[in-house]
């Protein structure tokens, strides 16, 4: 499992000034547990497709945006604890142009060694936080109070 943390500042082809931090949480017996990275590296050629798919869908940004600006991307890799039945990727985005900080989520179900995407925010939609929490709670079987605590920790 991987997440991406990055900073990019660009003028062309579109003005950008964002800092994105990523976190991974495991759902273990209905409770959330932060999963710490097992490794960290720079974005390599083998990571570009995954970066574009995930970050493009969540934030509307691509590797091309990084190439045309000043920035760097860290790839964080994780070992999923075997007791986890679900995973939540949290991306905290600080947009310095709009002076806005927001969160984007991806959720996965884990079963029999298989990881299946069950929820993802999209850059073109902005659901209310309550709707997101309800969806994550239903899909992963985690209590809403656990999700609210997670939000307080990364907001």
Q: What is the pLDDT of residue 104?
A: 94
Task: Check pLDDT > 90 for residue 40.
Answer: yes
Does 148 score more than 80 pLDDT? yes
Q: What is the mean pLDDT of the chain?
A: 92
| Burial of 55 from C-beta contacts in 10 A (0-12 / 13-18 / 19+) | buried
Residue with the larger pLDDT of the pair 50 and 149: 50
- Return d(Cα 98, Cα 17) in angstroms, integer: 9
pLDDT, tens digit (0-9, with 9 covering 90-100), for 42-83: 999 999 999 999 999 999 999 988 888 888 999 999 999 999
Q: Range of 108's domain?
A: 2-154
Q: Of 93, 6, 88, 103, nearest to 47 (Cα)? A: 6
pLDDT tens column, 99-125:
999 999 999 999 988 999 999 999 888
pLDDT band at 149 (very low <50, low <70, confident <90, very high): confident
What percent of the chain lies above the pLDDT cut of 70? 99
Tell me the per-residue pLDDT of 9-34, one tens digit each, with 9 for 90 and over: 988 777 899 999 999 999 998 899 99
Q: How confident is the model at residue 152 (pLDDT cuts 50, 70, 90)?
A: confident
DSSP, residue by residue, the chain: -EEEEEEEEE-SSS-EEEEEEEEEEEEETTEEEEEPPSEEEE--GGGHHHHHHHHHHHHS--HHHHHTSEEEEEEEE----TT-SEEEEEEEEEETTTTEEEEEEEEEEEETTEEEEEEE--TT----HHHHHHHHHHHHT--HHHHHHHHHHH-
* Total number of domains in the chain: 1
What is the percent of the chain where pLDDT is above 90?
68
pLDDT of residue 155: 63
Question: Looking at residue 11, what is its pLDDT?
Answer: 85
């Amino acid at each position: 499992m991987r997440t991406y943390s990055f900073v990019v500042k660009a003028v062309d082809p579109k003005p950008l000034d964002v800092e994105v931090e990523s976190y991974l949480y495991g759902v273990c017996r209905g409770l959330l547990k932060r999963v710490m990275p097992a490794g960290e590296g720079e974005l390599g050629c083998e990571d570009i497709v995954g970066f574009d798919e995930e970050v493009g869908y969540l934030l509307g940004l691509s590797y091309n945006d990084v190439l045309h600006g000043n920035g760097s991307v860290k790839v964080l890799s994780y070992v999923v604890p075997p007791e986890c039945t679900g995973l939540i990727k949290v991306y905290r985005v600080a947009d310095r142009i709009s002076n806005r900080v927001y969160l984007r989520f991806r959720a996965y179900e884990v079963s029999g060694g298989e990881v299946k995407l069950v929820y993802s925010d999209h850059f073109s939609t902005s659901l209310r936080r309550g709707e997101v929490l309800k969806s994550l709670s239903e899909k992963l079987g985690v209590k809403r109070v656990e999700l609210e605590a997670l939000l307080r920790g990364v907001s």
